Structure 1
Amino acid sequence: MGIQRKIALVSGTALMAFCQPAFAQDATPVPDTTTTQGAEASQDGGVGDIIVTASKREERLQDVPVSVTLVDGAQLTRQNINEVGDITRAAPALNTAGPFGALSIRGVGSLSFSRSSEGSVGVVVDGVALANTSANPPQLFDVARVEVLEGPQGTLFGRNSSAGVLNIVTVAPNPDAFEVIAHADVGSRDTYVGRATINLPIAGNAALRVSGAYNQAPENQYNRYNGSFLHSIGKSGRARFKWDPTADITINLIADYTQFDRQGGAPWTVYHSTPGSLLSQRLAACGVTVGQQNQDGCVDGGEQTTTKTYGFSGQADMQIGGVTLTSISAYRAFKQTSTGSDADSVPINLLNRNQSLGDYRNFSQELRLTSRSGGFVEYVGGLYYFDGQLDTSNDQRGFLFRDVPVPGIGIPLPNVPFGQRVATTSSVTSVAAFGQATFNLTSALRVIAGARYGNEDVRAFTVGTPTPGGAAFAGVGTKRGKVSDTYFSYRLGAQFDLSDGIMLYGTYTKGYKGPSINDQSIGPNIPTIVRPEIPCASEIGIKTTLLNGRLAINLAGFYTKVTDFQAQFFDPGISQFVFGNAPSLKTKGVSLSVFGRPVHGLTLNLNALYNDAKYGDGYYVACAQLQTAANGCVVVPGTKTLADNAGGNRLAGSPKWKLTGSGEYEASLSDSLAAYVQADVVYTSRINFTANYDPLAANAPAAIFGGRIGLRTSDQRYGIAVFGRNLFDVYRASVRFPTSVAAQQKDPQSYSQISGTDSRRVIGLSLDAKF
């Protein structure tokens, strides 16, 4: 389907709504983000007033039978959360599952190099699932709230939410007031944040809200070769138009654009290498001191990557009798250009060129009916269509065997380039019917039943060719695959109100993550089809309010087993490591949330997670560097290949304990001025970044503190504050992994790391204004 047709459909959906004699309400109405909201109860109300859309209908948070971590716009600002990956600092169940940003919830999530594969955590913005563009979501600005829904959510949210969902809701236009809102941060390490919003009433029933953001993340990963730091700069804009043409119709039209530029510095830094190795010598000659907190690199290939994410959506809400009909049409796109990425860690051209182009785009259409609240049955049901297309290419080139013999030849080849170009096209088509109903059997007892029935069609075609004038260092040829799968997922549960402030619930969910093609592995005997991933999850919980509704305490216990989970693993049938289906994994644990305003002037949002997440037996992965039989590097039964049976090992990127806390205390200095103190903390226990026995590829336990102190006017119009991130300057890498091309530099054991925005202390000044 061409882009012109998709845009026409988006516009047509909205235009059709004008002709319907029906009602509409904003499907995700939110309060003004200048008030304390979300997980922190409003000053005038209690925690019972918090509204979420976790079940695709407006419900009180304390009535939803799902474990939800809520982060509102005020907390996003307080913790300097500007990107989706930063939400890991506010939600204990959310983490990164291995290198380069793959998200996980409760430990479930994995990274794959397959282009037709998607993550296990769905990202939804204003009702639109980003799907195959979710690995590069828009920046977070002018956001009312983020709902982190834990556990499989496929019944209502679809194919790529087998671990959970990030449901992001932006601020709706307000036809009752003209507003200009601005926020700026200036900090050490060349840190800059700027955000501005204009809310423009057009008529008594229509308004336009235009917002933009600029974010330059703290500089890190210094390149000693050319004296540059790695800078990551984000620029974004969004326009949202809301119109109520009649009392029965509401239209929301949204367009957004985000661009990230990464330039300079080093792509990663080496924190462990073998003394005396060629790699160690080269790094030392450049002035790099290898160590656990090293943020210096030395590469000569440059670093330049630009990603662009944008989209359009049209939503129409109408009431037909006592039922609300919602239509959401959306087009999303993501483009990436990487013109420089040195992957060899040294100023020698071993693998200097690692260039890639990516073009992802999708169109989705959702139609759903939502009943009114109250009555014997409350339901949501609908139809969903998705069509995604992808075109990518990756070029790698270098002189890998300049200093070491080529395997099978026995001599170095200093002037022979090795490399390849891999180009992939893929498509995903998904159709589904879904529904969920709550039966109010009595005033205290409710039963939940929901299901989703759908079909997935996945196709991929890959061509691998050697680099011009050289030889390929991996398989070349073609790879073609297609798979179609029909599935049925469901959720069953019950709720019981022990009293007005205490609710018990229990649910059982069978989820689904669609099949994919092993499109990056070219060669004989490698399986083409990757089967669907099936999670089955049980959860029991209690939600309660105390202190006359000023404080909420929510507790949940969960158990999830995932079969045929999709991951990079060793297939003993062909004695190769491929992307495919490994046997199983299990997660079980307890989550706790405490939030509200227990006393006047104090807001709290405290969360904790205990998660025992382990791989099932028979999951064979590559042995760690220098790993021996004594610590698990064994011959895979029926083969001659050494591997580590990761069964019983903790999931990669999943800590056993994680605690997050955020709070603010405000005191009035006069009728027009108030002072406030804010603080936040995230504690994470040890994290292993690989599935095998590899104690060096891990993070030690650490607690990262942040805070701010400031003044603001009582009418919230002006504010100034001093803030600090990572106040005690505790270094903690975002991810750690075996160093690329270390073996070609005669180093048998080397590891590298990527530093995040909170890896070092940042002190700065914040300014706020509202007119």
Structure 2
Amino acid sequence: MIKLSKMHKRLLALSAVLPIGSAMAQTDAAATQPQLETVTVTAQRRAENIKDVPVSVTLLKDEKLDVLLSGGQDIRFLAGKVPSLNVESSNGRTFPRFYIRGYGNTDFSTFASQPVSLIYDDVVQENGILKGFPVFDVAGVEVLRGPQGTLFGRNTPAGVVKFDSAKPNLDKVEGYYSASLATHKTSSVEAAANIPLSSEWAMRVSTLRQHRDDFVDNTYTKQNDSLEGYNEHAERVQFLYKPSTTFNALFNVHSRTTDGSARLFRANIIKKGTNDLVDDYDFTKINTNGLNMQNLRTNGANVRLTWDLGAVKLFSITGYEGVDNYYSRGDIDGGTPTGPGFIPFQVQTGGGLSGLKQYTQEFRVESKNAGPLNWQTGVYYFKESGDGFSDNFDSTTQLQTSHLASHQNNEAYAAFGSVSYDVSSDFTVRGGVRYTHDQKDFRTVSAVNVVQVGATSVDESKNKANWDLSGTYKLNQDVSAYARVATGFRAPSIAAASSSVPITVADAETITSYEAGIKADLFNRRARASLSVFDFEVKNQQLTVVGGNSNVTKLINAAKSKGRGLEGEIEGFITPDFKASLSGSYNFTKIEDPNLYVAKCAQCTITDPIGANGLVSINGNPLPQAAKWIFNATARYNWPLANGNLFVLTDWSYRSKVNFFLYEAKEFTGKALTEGGLRAGYNWDGGKYEVAGFVRNITDKQQVIGAIDFNNLTGFVNEPRQFGVQFRGGF
């Protein structure tokens, strides 16, 4: 018989009262449960835990990005994939337009500006053509909602979409390669290699090749499989120089070449009095007598220098972006003299950039204090010079009927600063300010068969100071709450003249935004969630009037517009092998200007009040392309096997109806859009290799997502269903 010591007897007695064995088992089980990795973002220009950042922000990376891009999608893949974000384009794979919280700009003119700023590797991509650079070999995509006007350069009153490419390192040779083949012989090949060159130098080379065959038949010319194809090439080469722990230099050179079909406009594709597709709609057929083509070549380089001086860090970011050539031509009446349907006149347009150069320079200093006070400050310079043009053609003869060329110089500089102070271990206050001077010089260079109305040149400049103030409070180690008030600014915009409209100028717009939210890690970091609410008012908002009864574009200002809503996200492990996420947003927007009227569409059913002058009141309307609801859901299940893992992943997105234009019409209200994807595959060798099959737009949802209003019920549609396979490997 075993004799127990007094201590052992006490432990046994205690275990009879307290379930020590059960508690130890639960602790062991918790230790084996998978946890979500810590999400680090640079929304405040420093690397921080997303939970500590007083901004509504979403980060996309790794598998989520790979799934969404698997079928060769361009940057529009982001549309509706995160709360409060929409992306659309009437130019196809080029010239995307971004909207955050319903706040954006539908302007498609050569020098259009947007309130959403796109930043790639810390360099702003200002012109709309630059914003379409392909997404490949990136460390992550951050979507920052609300004004970001104190820390980021240029026009950011709606928010920022921020791309960070994967960077070279000195550690080892590594990289990946990926190849997919899908419907319509769509292929996408992507690869990257990190190569240490010495103890101080490393290189990273990345490349992307995408192709899709033409597969839409032109029933007018009897040319089979003549439209909707593309070829996309993009490259990036980076060099890291790190001679010491106190200095490093990163050099980045990149380029893009794309050619193929421009957006296909389809005449009378919408049923009169509805927003339904006509009964005989067929994506693979079009009846058009206009030429269709698109080509683009861009290049850029940047240098990022970092000095660690002990108490502070000094950064220098020098950037250059250029458009060597851009041309897009399409049949905007969408048909032929014989139809489909009634087409009042035959017209096609071509336009683009014969050249654009953008230079940026930023110097920034940030503190490294161990104490409660930290700060950053800097100066920023931006210069852009571009030549754009627009042409009209007679579709029946293909003869050019007019030509208008313009030149714009845009120069801006800013000084900014931000400070944070830890009032206590749980409460941090942040504030920032930025002063900006922005100047544009615009002139008509040449006009053929265009009798320009009004002045042939315009100079505009504006100075503005923006600020923000926020507070973050840690309710406990897993939950934090924040509140933020911020202002933003977009400089005046200028649109080229036409035969009936002079050069138009939209004055500067400003925004004041209020936001509050809560962010939490849940269930021992097996899940995380966030919720934010916001309210904003834009004064003197720049709006774009397009079409009506003629093919014109002009800029106007609304007295004000308002928005409010909420955003929520949650993701986590339901079981160790089952991971799911759910996100959504509600955005209510409203134009408030009882004196604002615009021209109406030629053949649609207007639902807004029409004045005695035949113009339409847009007072009370939502902003164009502003989806009231956006929802996303993903689920991934994993089956561990002896040598690898089987998995299945599905993702679904929903956005509610949108207005295509400033006015409301039955035909030009885009239906709610639901799209889903499915991916199933097998990975092995610790995830080093993967083979998968996928389908995008799994329900083959087909509907109008944009329109041209001046001629007939012309529209363009979303991408059809796509099946494909992909192989991915690492080394």
TM range (shorter): 0.7 to 0.9
Give the match's secondary structure for 1:62: helix
Distance 2:572 2:673 in 1: 26
Distance 1:630 1:266 in 2: 27
CA pair 658-429 structure 1, distance change in 2 beyond 3 A:
same
Distance 1:436 1:379 in 2: 6
The correspondence for 2:402, drawn from 403, 410, 420, is 420
* 1:702-741 map, 5 Å: 702-738=673-709
Give the match's secondary structure for 1:86: helix
**Deviation, structure 1 residue 221:** 5.0
Report the equivalent of 1:311.
300
* 1:334-353 map, 5 Å: 334-338=323-327, 340-347=329-336, 350-352=346-348
1:132 and 1:388 in contact (8 A); partners too: no
Give the match's secondary structure for 1:160: coil
Give the match's secondary structure for 1:189: helix
* 1:542-553 map, 5 Å: 542-553=518-529
Matched letter for residue 320 of structure 2: Y
The correspondence for 2:578, drawn from 602, 605, 629, is 602
1:674 and 1:714 in contact (8 A); partners too: no
Report the equivalent of 2:488.
511
1:221 and 1:267 in contact (8 A); partners too: no
Tell me if 1:107 matches 2:102. Answer: yes
Tell me if 1:451 matches 2:433. Answer: yes
Matched letter for residue 666 of structure 1: N
CA pair 417-314 structure 1, distance change in 2 beyond 3 A:
closer
Bigger radius of gyration, 1 or 2?
A: 2
**Deviation, structure 1 residue 455:** 0.6
**Deviation, structure 1 residue 353:** 5.5
Distance 2:331 2:68 in 1: 33
Tell me if 1:320 matches 2:302. Answer: no
Report the equivalent of 1:436.
418
Tell me if 1:62 matches 2:22. Answer: no
Tell me if 1:199 matches 2:194. Answer: yes
Bigger shift: 295-304 or 439-448?
A: 295-304
**Deviation, structure 1 residue 755:** 2.8
Report the equivalent of 2:624.
652
CA pair 104-265 structure 1, distance change in 2 beyond 3 A:
closer
1:137 and 1:309 in contact (8 A); partners too: no
2:177 and 2:190 in contact (8 A); partners too: yes
Bigger shift: 503-512 or 98-107?
A: 98-107
**Deviation, structure 1 residue 190:** 2.3
Report the equivalent of 1:5.
none
CA pair 630-751 structure 1, distance change in 2 beyond 3 A:
closer
Distance 1:726 1:496 in 2: 42
TM-score norm. by structure 1 comes to 0.82
* 1:235-384 map, 5 Å: 235-263=233-261, 266-268=264-266, 270-272=268-270, 296-338=285-327, 340-347=329-336, 350-352=346-348, 354-372=350-368, 374-384=370-380
Report the equivalent of 2:82.
91
CA pair 663-366 structure 1, distance change in 2 beyond 3 A:
farther
**Deviation, structure 1 residue 269:** 5.3
CA pair 198-770 structure 1, distance change in 2 beyond 3 A:
same
Distance 2:352 2:246 in 1: 49
**Deviation, structure 1 residue 182:** 0.8
Tell me if 1:661 matches 2:633. Answer: yes
**Deviation, structure 1 residue 263:** 3.0
Give the match's secondary structure for 2:78: helix
Distance 1:595 1:453 in 2: 39
Matched letter for residue 55 of structure 2: V
2:290 and 2:398 in contact (8 A); partners too: no
**Deviation, structure 1 residue 97:** 6.2
CA pair 528-617 structure 1, distance change in 2 beyond 3 A:
closer
Distance 2:328 2:698 in 1: 36
Report the equivalent of 1:123.
118
**Deviation, structure 1 residue 98:** 7.1
**Deviation, structure 1 residue 614:** 1.7
CA pair 701-495 structure 1, distance change in 2 beyond 3 A:
same
The correspondence for 2:714, drawn from 743, 748, 752, is 752
The correspondence for 1:481, drawn from 458, 461, 466, is 458
**Deviation, structure 1 residue 521:** 4.8
Q: Deviations over 1:524-550 (max 9, x none)?
A: 8x5754211111111010011101112
Report the equivalent of 2:26.
none
The correspondence for 2:207, drawn from 184, 206, 212, is 212
Distance 2:369 2:521 in 1: 22
Identity %: 24
**Deviation, structure 1 residue 309:** 2.1
Report the equivalent of 1:38.
none
Distance 2:200 2:426 in 1: 39
Matched letter for residue 270 of structure 2: H
Q: Deviations over 1:29-61 (max 9, x none)?
A: xxxxxxxxxxxxxx9985462111011111111
Distance 1:235 1:267 in 2: 25
Report the equivalent of 1:387.
383
CA pair 222-550 structure 1, distance change in 2 beyond 3 A:
farther
The correspondence for 2:473, drawn from 490, 496, 513, is 496
2:514 and 2:536 in contact (8 A); partners too: yes
Distance 2:654 2:436 in 1: 40
Report the equivalent of 1:763.
723
1:645 and 1:692 in contact (8 A); partners too: yes
CA pair 433-339 structure 1, distance change in 2 beyond 3 A:
closer
Distance 1:727 1:222 in 2: 23
The correspondence for 1:580, drawn from 541, 545, 556, is 556
Q: CA RMSD in A?
A: 2.8
Q: How many residues align?
A: 675
Distance 1:189 1:269 in 2: 24
**Deviation, structure 1 residue 463:** 4.2
Tell me if 1:593 matches 2:593. Answer: no
Report the equivalent of 1:15.
none
The correspondence for 1:555, drawn from 505, 519, 531, is 531
Matched letter for residue 160 of structure 1: N
Distance 1:219 1:438 in 2: 55
2:558 and 2:593 in contact (8 A); partners too: no
Bigger shift: 156-165 or 325-334?
A: 156-165
Report the equivalent of 1:229.
227
The correspondence for 1:398, drawn from 394, 408, 412, is 394
CA pair 243-425 structure 1, distance change in 2 beyond 3 A:
same
Report the equivalent of 2:8.
none
The correspondence for 1:681, drawn from 652, 657, 682, is 652
**Deviation, structure 1 residue 199:** 1.4
Report the equivalent of 2:162.
167
**Deviation, structure 1 residue 149:** 0.4
**Deviation, structure 1 residue 390:** 0.6
Distance 1:271 1:528 in 2: 32
Give the match's secondary structure for 1:155: coil
Distance 2:439 2:259 in 1: 34
Q: Deviations over 1:230-251 (max 9, x none)?
A: 1122111111111211111111
CA pair 161-568 structure 1, distance change in 2 beyond 3 A:
same
Matched letter for residue 445 of structure 1: F
Tell me if 1:76 matches 2:65. Answer: yes
1:482 and 1:529 in contact (8 A); partners too: no
Tell me if 1:152 matches 2:147. Answer: yes
Bigger shift: 449-458 or 156-165?
A: 156-165
TM-score norm. by structure 2 comes to 0.87
Q: Deviations over 1:186-227 (max 9, x none)?
A: 111221111011111112343111010112358665422322
**Deviation, structure 1 residue 272:** 2.6
**Deviation, structure 1 residue 419:** 2.4
